Structure 1
Amino acid sequence: MSSTQQKEQLSVFTVIKCRTCDYNNTRAFMEGDFVLKEVGKCEKDGGTLYIAGIYAVSQGKDNK
């Protein structure tokens, strides 16, 4: 891996879903986030919100 690739900027996001309805949201990753962590109550139906996934997107100039 070249030094250019190692310095690539990443934006990390957290996907939040409701256990009982179709609500989902994506927000910026926060320290302490992990998959399956419960993060509150759903505004739509009061169900439990949980972290369904975490992913990173490259912010490099070479994205096509």
Structure 2
Amino acid sequence: MRRIEVDVALTTFCDPGGLSGFFRARLAAQERGVSLYLVRVPPYLGRLLDTTGLRPLLYLRKDPP
């Protein structure tokens, strides 16, 4: 396995625990040589990732391949 894609299109709320979960999942995947992508990120979540500075630390895809 080289990549994990998490479709977050239906996510309507994300608190600090959710952000932490995304980041910890990314670190765990990276330790195993796997890339973790957030797919179909809703605008509010994109803004939240920008505001918290997490966007550059997470891989985002607009649409699944």
Same fold (TM over 0.5): no
Q: Which structure has the highest strand share of the two?
A: 1
Structure of higher CA gyration radius: 1
User: TM-score by structure 2 length?
Assistant: 0.23
Q: Counting helix residues as a fraction of each chain, which structure ranks higher? A: 2
TM-score if structure 1 supplies the norm length? 0.23
